[in-house]
A and B are shown apart, each in its own frame.
Chain A
Amino acid sequence: MIHIIAFYLFAVMTVGSGAITILSRNPVHSVLWLILAFFNAAGLMVLAGAEFIAMLLVIVYVGAVAVLFLFVVMMLDIDFAELRAGFVRYFPLGALVAVVLLAEMVLGIGAYHAGGIQLGTPSGTASTAAGVSNTAAIGALLYSRYLFLFEAAGIILLVAMIGAIVLTHRQRGDTRGQKISKQNARRPDEATVNVKPEVGKGVTL
C-alpha cells in the first residue's frame, strides 16, 4: 500500500518537476526544479531496491554537479526571451534529439524484455541474491567482471580533468601570488626593526 503511494508520489514529482525545469522562465528556478527531479528519481531508485545508486545519485548529482550548475547559472545574466526567439530555428534539431532518445529507450527496454541483456546477476534479473547487500553486490561485480571498463572510465575522467586544468590554467607574469611556505618561514626579527629616531629626523627604511 505505502509502496504504491510512494511510487506515484515520486513518479509524479519527477515527471512534474522535469517538465517545469524546461518550462520555467527563470534559469535558477529551472536548476532548482531539476534538483527536485534528481531527488525524486533517487526516491524511485530506493523503491526499486537500488539504495546504493540512489545515494550516489544524490551525492554526485545533487551534492556536486547541480551545485556547480547553480553556481554558474546564478552568475550568468541570461535573457530568456532572447533564448526563446530561436525556438523555431532549433526545433528540428531538438525534435531529432528527442526521436533518437525515444528510439534508444524503446530499443533498450525491448532488448531487456527479450532477454538479450544480462544486467547485474547472471540470470539477467536486476535484483541481487538474498543476503547480499546492494553495495557489496555492485562492488563484487565492478571489481571483477567490469574491472577494466571501470578503470578505463576512471582514466578518461582523469584525462578530462587534467585537460580542463591545462586549458584554463595560464601563467601571468604580472600577478603577485602568495607563497605560504615563505610566509610561514618569516620571523619577527627579520620583518621588524626597532629604531629610536632623534627629534626632527625621519626614519629611513
Chain B
Amino acid sequence: MTAFFQSLGMSHDWAWFVSTICGILLIALPLMLAVAMIIYVDRKIWAAMALRRGPNVVGPFGLLQSFADGLKVFLQETIVPSAANKGIFLIAPVVTFTVALMAWAVIPFNSGAILANINVGLLYILAISSLGVYGTIMAGWASNSKYPFFSAMRASAQMISYEVSIGFIIVCVVLWADTFNLNQIVIAQKGHVLGIFNGFVFNPLLFPMWVMFLISSLAETQRAPFDLTEAESELVAGYQTEYSSMAFAAYWLGEYANVLLMCALNTTLFFGGWLPPLDIPVLYLVPGFIWFLLKVGFFFFVFSWVKATVPRYRYDQLMRLGWKIFLPTSLLFVVLVSGYLMLTRYS
C-alpha cells in the first residue's frame, strides 16, 4: 500500500504514514462491525441450543439487535461511583478496548495482508495479551467495591496461570515453524502432513497442543466454562459491576474482540491461517481471506457451543487444570517436539 501512496506523489515517509493509518482503519472498523455481528451470532447460537428464539425483533431476523443495544448503552448516563479512584476508573475500559485492538496488527488475513509483518509477531501477541489483564485489575481496584475487587484478583491469577501454558504451546509451534513471524508460520503449514493437509493440527505431536491451546484460549478470554471473573451467582457482574454506559460497552466490545483474536490465533497457529484446509490447487481459487474468515467463524461457533453446553468450573479446579495438568503436559511436549526435530531435521 505504501507504493500506491508513493505513486500519488508523496515522499516515502508520508506514504508509509498514510498507508499505516489506512491499514489500521481497514482492520479496526470491520473488526468493530464483526464484533457487533458476532455478539448477535453468539446470542442466536446460545438461544438455539437452549431451544429459544434469541433476538428476533430489531431488524430482519433481529440482525440489528447489537446496534440497538449499542444505541441504548450510548444514551445511558455515565455513573462514576463517588468512592472510586476516578482517573484509573475511567482509564481501565480504554486500556481493555485498546489492547484488544492492538494485537490485530500482526494477524495475517491473507498472503501478505498483514499490517505489521514483524519478526517477533508471536511474541508481540503474547506481550499484548499479557497487557489485557491490566484493564480488569484497574477496574476492580478503582471501583472500590468488593465484588469487582474479587473479580480482579481472580482474573489476574487466571490469566497469568494460563499464559504460562500458552507460552509453552507456542514454543512447540515456533520450534516446528522455525519462526516467530505469523505469516511465515502460516506458510510453514502448507502441505504439513503427508504433503496434502495444511495445518499443524493434523500433526500427531501438535494435535494435543491444539486441544490445550483451545481450552487455554477459553480461559484466557474468560469465556464459559472459565468465566469465574463474571460469575453472576457470586460476583454480580464481576469487575464491570460499577460500570455503566459507554465504559461498560467498551468492556463488552473489548471482550468479544479478544474472543475473535483467540479464534484467529487458533486459525493461524494450528489450522493454516489463510491457506485452504487441503493442499489441492482447486481450493486455492477461493481467496485466502475467505478461508481465514470461515475458520475464524468456525472457532467462534465452537466458543459459543462450549458456552451453551458446559457448566462453570470451580476456581480450584481451574487452577489445578492450569498448573498441575496443562503446565507439565505442555512442558513434556516441548521436550518431545524439540527431541523429534533434533532427530529428524537437525541431525
Contacts and interface: CB of A to CB of B under 8 A. Distances in A.
B242 interface: no
The interface centre, meaning the residue of B120, B156, B160 with most chain A CB atoms within 10 A of its CB, is B120
Contact of B130 (A28, A62, A134): A62
A62 B127 contact: yes
A178 B316 CA distance: 9
Interface in A128-142: 133-135
B159 to A, nearest CB: 8
Interface string A62-101: 1110011011001000000000000000000000000000
B130 A59 contact: yes
Interface stretch (A8-16, A50-58, A106-114): A50-58
A51 B180 CA distance: 12
A42 B127 CA distance: 11
Interface string B114-139: 00001110011011101101100110
B320 interface: yes
A1 B13 contact: yes
A2 B153 CA distance: 40
Given A35-B134, A59-B127, A63-B127, A134 B119 contact: yes
Contacts of B138: 32
A42 to B, nearest CB: 8
A55 B120 contact: yes
A71 B127 contact: no
A195 B124 CA distance: 62
B141 interface: yes
A63 B129 CA distance: 8
A51 B137 CA distance: 27
Given A58-B131, A63-B163, A52 B13 contact: no
B118 A62 contact: no
A197 B46 CA distance: 43
Contact of B153 (A26, A32, A59, A71): A71
A59 B119 CA distance: 16
Contacts of A135: 119-120, 180
A72 B153 CA distance: 10
A134 B153 contact: no
A67 B137 contact: yes
A32 B118 contact: no
A29 B138 CA distance: 10
Given A2-B13, A63-B163, A55 B126 contact: yes
A156 interface: no
B84 to A, nearest CB: 13
Contacts of A166: none
A71 B160 CA distance: 12
The interface centre, meaning the residue of B127, B134, B153, B156 with most chain A CB atoms within 10 A of its CB, is B127
A51 B133 contact: no
A74 B141 contact: yes
B177 interface: no
A133 B127 CA distance: 19
Nearest to A71: B156
B306 to A, nearest CB: 21
Nearest to B152: A74
A134 B131 CA distance: 23
B18 interface: no
A67 B156 contact: yes
B215 interface: no
A51 B127 CA distance: 12
A165 interface: no
Contacts of A26: 85
B131 A55 contact: no
A67 B160 contact: yes
A161 to B, nearest CB: 13
Contacts of A205: none
Nearest to B119: A133
Given A29-B88, A51-B120, 5 more contacts: A2-B17, A28-B88, A58-B130, A67-B156, A74-B137
Interface of B: 13, 17, 85, 88, 118-120, 123-124, 126-128, 130-131, 133-134, 137-138, 141, 149, 153, 156, 160, 163, 180, 316-317, 320
Q: Which 4 A-B pairs give the minimum distances between C-beta atoms?
A: A63-B130, A55-B123, A58-B127, A133-B119
